[in-house]
Amino acid sequence: MDELAIGLIGAGRIGKLHGDNIARLVPGARLEAIAEIRLTGEHRLWAGKNGVKKVYEDPAEIWKDRDIDAVFICSSTETHAEFIIQAARAGKHIFCEKPVHTDVGRIREALDETAKAGVKLQVGFVRRFDHNHRKVRDTVASGRLGKPHIIKITSRDPEGPPLSYIAASGGIFMDMTIHDFDMARYLAGSEVSEVSAWGAVMIDKNYERYGDVDTAAVMLKFENGALGIIDNSRAARYGYDQRTEVHCDRGCVRVENDLVDTSVTSTADGVVCERPTWFFLERYNDAFVAEARAFVDAVRNGADVPVDGKDGLAAVYIAMAAGKSLRENRPVKLAGIM
Amino acid sequence: MDELAIGLIGAGRIGKLHGDNIARLVPGARLEAIAEIRLTGEHRLWAGKNGVKKVYEDPAEIWKDRDIDAVFICSSTETHAEFIIQAARAGKHIFCEKPVHTDVGRIREALDETAKAGVKLQVGFVRRFDHNHRKVRDTVASGRLGKPHIIKITSRDPEGPPLSYIAASGGIFMDMTIHDFDMARYLAGSEVSEVSAWGAVMIDKNYERYGDVDTAAVMLKFENGALGIIDNSRAARYGYDQRTEVHCDRGCVRVENDLVDTSVTSTADGVVCERPTWFFLERYNDAFVAEARAFVDAVRNGADVPVDGKDGLAAVYIAMAAGKSLRENRPVKLAGIM
Amino acid sequence: MDELAIGLIGAGRIGKLHGDNIARLVPGARLEAIAEIRLTGEHRLWAGKNGVKKVYEDPAEIWKDRDIDAVFICSSTETHAEFIIQAARAGKHIFCEKPVHTDVGRIREALDETAKAGVKLQVGFVRRFDHNHRKVRDTVASGRLGKPHIIKITSRDPEGPPLSYIAASGGIFMDMTIHDFDMARYLAGSEVSEVSAWGAVMIDKNYERYGDVDTAAVMLKFENGALGIIDNSRAARYGYDQRTEVHCDRGCVRVENDLVDTSVTSTADGVVCERPTWFFLERYNDAFVAEARAFVDAVRNGADVPVDGKDGLAAVYIAMAAGKSLRENRPVKLAGIM
Amino acid sequence: MDELAIGLIGAGRIGKLHGDNIARLVPGARLEAIAEIRLTGEHRLWAGKNGVKKVYEDPAEIWKDRDIDAVFICSSTETHAEFIIQAARAGKHIFCEKPVHTDVGRIREALDETAKAGVKLQVGFVRRFDHNHRKVRDTVASGRLGKPHIIKITSRDPEGPPLSYIAASGGIFMDMTIHDFDMARYLAGSEVSEVSAWGAVMIDKNYERYGDVDTAAVMLKFENGALGIIDNSRAARYGYDQRTEVHCDRGCVRVENDLVDTSVTSTADGVVCERPTWFFLERYNDAFVAEARAFVDAVRNGADVPVDGKDGLAAVYIAMAAGKSLRENRPVKLAGIM
């Protein structure tokens, strides 16, 4: 295949991020069209800067454009399944932001359609492309530390989203921890079999109104016998805290946060270092590029995508189990809800 | 009070450690006598080097010695309660190694006797005296980070004990995690209200024979609303991994391991640093001295001991709840077992 | 000024790097033309990918192109002065790679021409745009540590250039340490008044043939009274070692290298971390972008460039003094050679 | 030899430190006597606590005491040579604090006497016994990094001594840098052949009155071809900055400071770590014990002492060369002054 022509569905913050990357930093791909339901002049301006001439309100324009090889679905979560289905039927390869959808029935339908159509579907678990977490995975997967015993994930946002967002988020596990559930599977190299989740409202009492929590601790059991531990916060204040750590037979591998810079300032008052990079746009900036490149490479080379629809579905199941565990204050086996 | 005359009960590894410290490094105290049931010439030699002339097999010799002000109970766990009771009746102040005992009934009896006798009882949770963990506690307790949200404890031994020890250990939670349960209470500044524990046998299948595990993950709920996470291993291989981390309203405080040295060797093959200090004798060497000094100071000044019998009992209750949680695969409330 | 149209002179490794950055990552600029004396099909292909239609062998084509506002001079060092003069006469703003030239007479001519023409000249001391070194500078310049006492620069290449390069390099001080001389001025906020340089041939005896060294230590005196220390190696083996450190009245600020990732792998055999990023393309990747942006912003806004021709000249003088100091084994005052 | 009976000459701060260590922490040795010219009741009290009964004003009492095997000379520098000579004549083995003396003629006399008497003389370059610096030395000496290219020493005191001390100190090179000169020889495994020293008065103008400096940078050449760099400050403010770094054929080894604790506190305001341990009493606490043990072991086993009189003399020569280099602003060859 020659250069991959990509249509972008949804040009909000994350859509623009992917669009900019495709236009500038992903060899073998070009940004061919964008579709944005709430289209404004600002979107047109942005498209123009990236040399994109096809600017639509209706994604259907993209499905029917024969020039377009693949789509990036960056619209709101509840539209994901439907757009995957339509893109698949139109024969487009698909990159879809996480989560695939919050309704597993709809996800299954979407996966069936992509299978039927023979198109690729990659899910946007961008952290797999981070240099740090990837190093942890590669070290574990190499087998040189032996089998994993405990997978630990610290995942804390610097500041919470607006409350309006919380209301529609599907809860902390489906919205935020879902990244960690995927990371846990990725690092452990094994499926999760059981979840035990606790939560607390420590930051903003309003979370209670939505039956949600802003602080969480989750234990996982994996099919290979390993245990997992995740801790989350909606507002860590000091920056985006994203650390992973895997303990194995012969030792452990762990990664620290990337920092704004490596400076150390020492005075009689103390020693001051820099904070972690602020949030996901800063921390996973390079990972977003690597993710898009991996998708484009897989499509062009007819290879498997590195994160597929089954990965997307698996993380949703774990999030559902975690929600149930929190509500019922007991461990929940994945087998019981799949 | 003038110099505190101390009788040591039990001169095994930990007893000798305390004895050496008292003899050399604890101002205001002297090692007056030792009692060791399995007394050998080697014990006499060791006592001689420390200038101790009273060397007994029977601890009763210590109870009746009017010169002795206080005892260090370093004999095997099942003797602790009895020796506390006898020491208390003899009017001796008591330092007792952890755990106080594994039977809460016996612990309560022992605490009653010390109360009746008006003697002080300090329990050997030595990690409270470590410079690193203490800094975490002091930072949290200062209130400048606001209230705690999540307390995280990584606690991994470099190598497992002999299997014979495992058989009599009372299980990982009573033997090893009990330190972490005390640490959790210490850092959170709050009582544990509920425990959810998972374990796995990843290192040595023999643990299964004793109904024990060698790898564990534990979640805690605290009365102040905070959550806790502990992970344990009987054999981390790379050294003694002892890290604590507390996330609060306005940020977090955490500590890394002490290392053998701070060297960094960089070649084309990689960058190599030193490992954590090997085990508790190395890591908590200074903490053992600080612990003994704190006891001696409290007794001499008529002040409260920094870790008392109620602290010893509280940790045992949490360990019991953790065991029950592991066996029944469900969260266990402390209220239900106290 | 609208979008800045840039002509690139010289499309070798560093020229392509700047060209790619201008084409993709520098807002407000576009790559309009390239001129490369040894033009090949590969250069045309590369230009095409960046949407550049004007591809020349002769830089003169660029001087006379009325569409072009500014040039990036990335040709070999001995052409720099001449091209600056021609670009200035043509009214183009100029970004010139370091060193400006090795002949101070020619540099002075070039600076005179840019002054006469009223065009801006920025010199490519890219390290000033590195997030780490910039943080050191900003901390010192803020004055909150008081006046600087000692400026320390560790600057070690991972591997030496080919010997053919050494022959024409002008020697380690003019070729390599010149970056550190600029960094020293930048960090100290003061001019160098005296240099004392020692060198050694530790890596490759061939350096002796060229009267050059592969290992160097340099002391600097600054007009503000501070002292400076630089150490250099042509082959550090473990990666690109680029650290700066400034000690002041009230404390110090220093930076460590950026690492490939933050992983730490711990086993019984030791603790292994990652190496520094390999060489300047990796380490100063973002700094090259920031440097080009700063030039484009300065030209478009009519502001001063952050590193000008006088900075370029000052570093050359220090390099000359260092060479003289090495040859004569004595401290050399800058005043004596300017 | 049985237990080594030690007489302490001079019971000021450093003398008491050694005395306490010998009394408590050095197996195979006992503190038998002390002599202190300015003897007070406080010295008697301190001696009593350490079980020492022989407390003298006149060191001669120690020379003639047949029970005493060895002496620790901790009196003021100008008395060192004389006391070494007297101790040697009395057949006592000798540990002498640094510097041996400031007059090389007197040092040579003293060394001659110890040689004649066949007694051991160890000089108190305590930093050789620090776990960090020793690791650097051992790594270099192992040869696995190849031959050394550059030795770097950062050595900065947290606060300056009283001015009265400065007046009699012999200047920064003889008083403070002498430790670094010894460290340089120790790390390089080679003799210094040439010195180039610069200094500045940045902290306290009073240093000028004594022809002294409070800030210094020194370059060294070694006989094996390596270069050395030292930087010093009398008042680093943030703690005792003691770092060493050696670059070799195949890579480098370096050490960071020991910190008060390993805590990292992260808030929106920044990330705060702990400072280096405050000064030499804290940083080299364990090294002082190791140093005394090494002396006692060498004497008892008839082995060579790890730092001998020639080491003491060599450091003094380098300090003299550095002083000359500073005054004359030119490199000074050691050969010219020995």
The string of pLDDT tens digits covering residues C79-104 is: 999 999 999 999 999 999 999 999 99
What are the φ and ψ backbone dihedral angles of C127, each rounded to 5 degrees? -65, -20
**Can the peptide bond before residue D99 be classed as cis, meaning omega within 30 degrees of 0?**
yes
| Residue A63, min C-alpha distance to chain D (Å) | 46
The chain-wide mean pLDDT, for chain D, equals 97
Distance in Å, alpha carbon of C252 to nearest chain D alpha carbon: 8
Please, which pLDDT band fits residue C338 given cuts at 50, 70 and 90?
A: confident
- Average pLDDT taken over every residue of chain B: 97
| High-pLDDT (> 90) share of chain D, % | 96
Flag residues of chain A having pLDDT under 50. none
Six token digits for residue A54:
């096809």
Question: Do residues A182 and A315 touch, judged by C-beta distance below 8 A?
Answer: yes
Please tell me the distance from the alpha carbon of residue D129 to that of residue D120, in angstroms, as a whole number: 18
Contact yes or no for D329 and C329 at CB 8 A: no
Question: How many CA within 13 A on the CB side of residue B161?
Answer: 14
Digit-coded pLDDT (tens) for D298-310: 999 999 999 999 9
Instruction: Give the residue-averaged pLDDT of B222-226.
Output: 98
Residue contact A275–D270, C-beta within 8 A: yes
Min Cα–Cα distance to chain B from D99, Å: 27
Q: Is the pLDDT confidence value at C186 over 70?
A: yes
Check residue A2 and give its pLDDT: 82
For residues A62 and A72, what is the distance between their CA atoms, to the nearest angstrom?
11
Output phi, psi for A82, to 5 deg: -60, -45
Q: How far is CA A26 from the centre of its chain?
A: 19
ipTM above 0.90, yes or no: yes
Nearest one of B298, B321, B334 to B123, comparing CA atoms:
B298
**Closest among A198, A262, A189 to A226, alpha carbons compared:** A189
Q: State both tokens at D190.
A: 């080679």
Count Cβ neighbours within 10 Å for each residue of A192-216 and write b for 16 or more, e otherwise. Answer: bbbbbbbbbbbbeeebeeeebbbbb
Mutant choice from B266, B269, B272, B278 vs C, greatest count of C C-beta within 10 A:
B266
Helix/strand/coil for B117: helix
Q: Which two tokens stand for residue C243?
A: 């650290």
Helix (H) or strand (E) holding A141: helix A131-141
CA closest to B286 among chain D residues: D286
Note the pLDDT of residue B2: 82
Tokens of D98: 């640094």
Q: Could you read off the pLDDT of C116-130 as tens digits, one per residue?
A: 999 999 999 999 999
Mutate to test the interface with A, among D266, D272, D279 (most CBs of A within 10 A): D266
Q: D-contacting residues of A 222-241, CB under 8 Å?
A: 237-239
Could you report the per-residue pLDDT of D176-233, keeping only the tens digit for each? 999 999 999 999 999 999 999 999 999 999 999 999 999 999 999 999 999 999 999 9
d(CA C245, CA C188): 11
Which chain B residues contact residue C274 at CB under 8 A? 270-271
Whole-number pLDDT of residue B168: 85
Residues of C in contact with B273 (CB under 8 A): 264, 270-273
Contacts of D139 in chain B (CB under 8 A): 263, 265
Q: In angstroms, rounded to a whole number, what is the distance separating the alpha carbons of residues C73 and C8?
A: 6
Q: What is the pLDDT of residue A73?
A: 98
Question: What's the first-to-final CA gap in chain C, in angstroms?
Answer: 38
Amino acid at A86: Q
Is the distance from CB of D161 to CB of D169 less than 8 angstroms? yes
| DSSP secondary structure, C140-188, as one string | HHHTTT-SEEEEEEEEE-SSPPPHHHHHTS--HIIIIIHHHHHHHHHHH
Spatial CA neighbour of D200 closest among D319, D329, D315, D39: D329
Judge: B226–A200 Cβ closer than 8 Å, yes or no: yes
SS3 state of residue A100: coil
Is a pLDDT exceeding 80 seen at residue D1?
A: no
C-alpha B96, offset from chain centre: 10
Say how many residues make up chain D: 338
Tokens 């620290």 map to which residue?
A256
- Which residues 244-303 on chain D approach chain A with CB closer than 8 angstroms? 264, 266-268, 270-276
Q: In this predicted structure, what is the pLDDT of residue C1?
A: 62
pLDDT band, residue B338 (cuts 50/70/90):
confident
Torsion sign, CA atoms C309, C315, C321, C327: negative
Rounded Cα distance between B171 and B50, Å, is 35
What pLDDT, on a 0 to 100 scale, did the predictor assign at position C2?
82
**Bond prior to A27 in cis (omega within 30° of 0):** no
Q: How far apart are CA A320 and CA D91, in angstroms?
A: 83
Nearest neighbour of A270 by CB, restricted to D267, D268, D272: D272
What is the predicted pLDDT for the residue at B1?
A: 62
Residues of chain A in contact with residue D275, where contact means CB-CB under 8 angstroms, are 266, 270-271
Q: Do D263 and B251 touch (CB under 8 A)?
A: no
- Please tell me the predicted confidence (pLDDT) of residue A1: 62
D230 residue type, one letter: I
Using one digit for the tens of pLDDT, what is the confidence trace for C252-268? 999 999 999 999 999 99
| Cα–Cα dist B258/B273, whole Å | 12
Closest CA to C326 of C196, C176, C190, C192: C196
pLDDT at C103: 93
Using CA atoms, how far residue B289 sits from B31, B33, B286, in Å, is 14, 19, 5
CB contact under 8 A, C267 and A257: no
Give the number of residues written for chain A. 338
Residues 159-218 of C with CB under 8 A from B: none
Instruction: Answer yes or no: do D329 and C331 touch at CB < 8 A.
Output: yes
Give the three-class secondary structure for C76. Answer: coil
C-alpha–C-alpha distance, residues C57 and C221, integer Å? 45
Strand segments, DSSP code E, in D135-284 are 148-156, 192-200, 215-222, 227-233, 241-248, 251-255, 263-267, 270-273
- Alpha carbons D222 and D235: distance in angstroms, whole number: 28
| DSSP type of residue A144 | T
| β-pair type (C148-156, C227-233) | parallel
Find chain B residues with C-beta within 8 A of A219's C-beta: 196, 198, 217, 219
Determine the pLDDT at residue D59: 97
CB-CB neighbors (< 8 A) of D268 in chain A: 237-238
Shortest CA gap D28–chain B (Å): 11
Partners of D271 on chain A (C-beta within 8 Å) are: 238, 272-275
| Mean predicted confidence (pLDDT) in C184-200 | 98
* B148-169: average pLDDT: 94
Check if B149 contacts D (Cβ < 8 Å): no
Residues forming a β-bridge with D221: D194, D227
Query: Which chains does chain A touch, 3 or more C-beta pairs < 8 A?
Result: B, C, D
